[in-house]
Amino acid sequence: MSSNLNSHRKHNFSAGPCTLPLSVLEQAQQEFVDYQGTGMSLIEMSHRGKHFDAVANEAMALSMEIFQVPDDFSVLFLQGGAMLQFSMVPMNLLSNGQKGAYVNSGAWADGAITDAKEYGDIYTAWDGAENNYTRMPATAELEMQDNTRYLHITTNETIGGIRFPEWPQVDVPLIGDMSSEYMARPLPWGKFDLVYGGAQKNLGPAGMTVVFIRKSILANTNKNIGRYLRYDIHESNKSMFNTPPVFPIYMFGKVLKWMKKQGGLAAMETLAAEKSAILYHAIDDSDGYYHCPVDVACRSQMNIVFRLPSEQLEQKFLSESAQANFINLKGHRSVGGCRASIYNALPKSSVDALAEFMATFRNDNARDNG
């Protein structure tokens, strides 16, 4: 079944939700109606029963292991996307007099700032507006203020296609929105108090937010907020204070096993470097036919944005690529152009095929640029 199906599979460059490993999908399908001979689907089971308990515990342990998270952190499985974290972070972490510093690196960072302003004294330590959000700041560019509780960064901007090549060296803990490069590169955990992200890019289906939080900060988080919004309550209840998102947790566990089988975080990082290099090479070697507007040092290894010589050619490129089974290559509506999102589960063969398509398209359409 796999090989037939595989040849029928789309090259899916969606920015998320996105491609999942085929073997994970097939396994989930196989046990979907009758989970391990129990006479029930896993999604019909009490979240407090032994079967789901085993699934959740395994996903928690594997996520800590594969992402190389030290023991002084806990992992939380929440809901509401990275978007709800935009509120929960300042709600929980900022006490009176403390400020939250934010790097405004593009659309998602801007969203984090917008929401945070409802819950505390927030300032922008650096703003990428003047270069149209095409690069990340160096540490020397950050304008930090006194009484800053944390520096919030969006480690990879899904829309702008940029990432931090090096981590900021500041005196306050970092908070990272890592949604679009989650578990695709190692983190210097000593610098972070909290890392969060939606699952629907590298980790599994939509409907789940994965948070890693430093345990020692939980004693000082704000307790005067609704219980679903409190990190300490989720942590002390092992993310089972209320009914968790059962199916995404189950799928996350399967994706983690797949990652481990591929070689874990190091393999994901190597794969991301290789896959992104193929596409950046296709862009850079095109005599300017394709153009990536991003600062070379800050190029994302997950979201490769590029332009063609004209919007007409971009339309043609999107239309013909879709016919050739390459889908979701359209850039975000706010910036236009093209974008190939090449998350962990996207096979390298899809990237090779796209690079080849790009070369062919350029050959066939180069004269239109005259």
Residue labelled with tokens 């239109």? 368
Q: Which of residues 47-106 bind a second copy (CB under 8 A)?
A: 47, 49, 78-84, 86-87, 91
Q: Token pair for residue 156?
A: 């990879």
String of contacts with a second copy for each residue 295-334, x by CB under 8 A: ------------------------------x--x------
Cis peptide before 17 (omega within 30 of 0): yes
* Active-site residue, from 110, 115, 177, 232: 177
> Considering only residues 68, 242, 319, 363, which one is a binding residue for a second copy as defined by CB under 8 A?
242
DSSP state of 307: B
192 neighbors 174 (Cβ within 8 angstroms): yes
- Interface segment toward a second copy; rule CB under 8 A; list 31-39, 120-128, 212-220, 255-263: 31-39
Cβ proximity to a second copy, 91 vs 355, nearer residue: 91
Cβ proximity to a second copy, 23 vs 365, nearer residue: 23
Active site residue 127: no
Q: How far is Cα 339 from Cα 356, in angstroms, rounded to an integer? A: 16
> Considering only residues 75, 208, 255, 338, which one is a binding residue for a second copy as defined by CB under 8 A?
208
List CB contacts of 367: < 8 A, sequence separation 6 or more. Answer: none
> Considering only residues 63, 140, 245, 307, which one is a binding residue for a second copy as defined by CB under 8 A?
245
> Considering only residues 123, 167, 189, 241, which one is a binding residue for a second copy as defined by CB under 8 A?
241
Q: How far is Cα 106 from Cα 358, in angstroms, rounded to an integer? A: 27
> Considering only residues 118, 274, 364, 368, which one is a binding residue for a second copy as defined by CB under 8 A?
118
Active site residue 285: no
317 neighbors 337 (Cβ within 8 angstroms): no
3-state secondary structure of 285: coil
DSSP state of 366: G
In the bound complex, what is the minimum distance in angstroms from residue 139's beta carbon to a second copy? 29
Q: How far is Cα 56 from Cα 205, in angstroms, rounded to an integer? A: 15
Active site residue 238: no
306 neighbors 344 (Cβ within 8 angstroms): no
DSSP state of 154: E
Residues identified as active-site: 108, 177, 201
Residues that bind a second copy (CB under 8 A): 5, 8-10, 12, 14-20, 22, 25-26, 28-29, 32-34, 38-41, 43-47, 49, 78-84, 86-87, 91, 111, 114-115, 118-119, 198, 200, 205-208, 224-229, 241-248, 251, 325, 328
